[in-house]
Amino acid sequence: MSTFPLPLNELLGSGGAYFIYLLIGFAFGYVLELAGFGNATKLAPQFYFKDMTVLKVMFGAIVTAMVLVFLASGVGLLDYNLVWVNPTYLWPGIVGGLLMGVGFIIGGFCPGTSLVSAATLKLDGIFFVLGVFFGIFLFGETVGAFDTFYHSSYMGRFTLMEWLNIPTGVVVLLVVAMALFMFWGSEQLERIVGKRDLTQEPKWRYGAAGTVLAGALLVVFIGQPTTADRWANIAAEEEARIANRDIYIHPGELLDYLHDASVQVVMLDVRSERDFNLFHIRDARRVPAATIDEIVPELHLQPANTLFVVMGNGETAATEAWRTLRAESIPSLYVLEGGINNWLTVFADEEFVAGQQVVVSGDQLAYTFTAALGARYPWAEPNPRAFNLTYTPKVELEIKRAPEGGGCG
């Protein structure tokens, strides 16, 4: 089943994709201008509780988008794993938000609305944009002085659902309820401080509020797809790849990519702690098979040139972990052919291999180690020049979603 986001670069080419981006940007700016957000005298009263249009428009857009995103995800039209969520840097984010808020109060614009104002040739907007450019330059020249703080308190792709540890639908409903209360409260402030006559406000806003609330309740009722649901949608195609052994890469291919500077390799070892401690490939990360789904958000933040390789002693456990990660839309994902047993057969020295009584039962380690040296064996990091291996290349790096900007800021 096809899901969004659509791969625009693949469908339309880079030129067509940029044309779509241009249309979206123009439409966003046009809507901001229609809302009066290109005028500082419309924006600044927000901070004096006289005109709360900014809060109502921006929060209205946020909750509308949130409801639509999770409704689409709930019915299988959107793969939320492929939606870029900015990673959280808690304290730098708080400080940055305060700085932006102060700038908003003083200048009367946020970065996005200043561009709308400048586009309509308003002098204050033009000067604000010039100030933004100067601030960007100043930041770039001084960031080295506070680089440690700038990258501190990293929390990854951290959402309200993870923070509160409650279902997505409940979070959506709570946020919508909070927004509606804020809308009501903002109108009371406009009535008291701004002396606005609320009887002149359009009545359709009640219908809009009810529609968003109904959408939030529908998200609660529908719920979000589980890993099993996601796998069911792609099982026919992906099981065919497993049957054709398209996902299994030769140890030699993995070794070549480990020495390819243009590719970042993430190796996920799903074996027991005992087997991992006995021997593992250098830089491999042990992730218990039972908890493989917990690292999905972290994996989605890896660069676009990342190759993910899952490995076990054999292929059984690794293939099951592959199914889980593939269901969660991890791209460029493969399994080490034959697992660690095959890696040792290919790369371990002849004396070590010859002295073994290889007996494999299921997904067990086929070699005996007298000491738990982990990656402190020569064959944990083989020299590719020492081997002349022939294999069929399998790896095709997939296009990942990329970080995107968005919103008024």
Digit-coded pLDDT (tens) for 264-309: 999 999 999 999 999 999 999 999 999 999 999 889 989 889 999 9
Strand, helix or coil at 306?
A: strand
CA-angle at 322, arms to 76 and 287, nearest 5°: 115
Compute the 3-state secondary structure of the chain and give helix, strand, coil in percent, each to the nearest 5: 60, 5, 35
Tell me the pLDDT tens digit for each residue of 54-106: 888 889 989 999 999 999 999 988 888 888 888 899 999 999 999 988 988 88
Instruction: Output DSSP code: residue 370.
Output: S
The predicted pLDDT at position 271 comes to: 96
Residue 283: which residues within 8 A CB-CB, separation 6 or more?
258, 265, 267, 375
Q: Which residues are CB-contacts of 366 (< 8 A; sequence separation ≥ 6)?
A: 313, 341, 344, 356, 358, 359, 360
User: Is it the case that residue 252 has pLDDT exceeding 90?
Assistant: yes
Q: What angle do CA 398, 402, 407 make, to 5 degrees?
A: 155
**pTM, two decimal places:** 0.80
Instruction: Give the pLDDT score at 1.
Output: 45
3 has pLDDT over 60: no
- SS3 at position 393: coil
Q: Which residues pair with 311 in a beta bridge?
A: 269
| Domains recognised in the chain with CATH numbers | 8-227 (no CATH), 234-386 (3.40.250.10)
- Whether 409 shows a pLDDT value over 80: the answer reads no
The pLDDT, as a whole number, for residue 337 is: 96
Judge whether 309 and 268 are in contact, CB under 8 Å. yes
Q: Closest Cα partner for 388 from 338, 340, 347? A: 347
- pLDDT at 44 > cutoff 70: yes
According to DSSP, the residues that pair with 285 across neighbouring strands are 268
- Residue 54: C-alpha distances to residues 37, 69, 110, 116, 202 (Å): 8, 22, 11, 14, 17
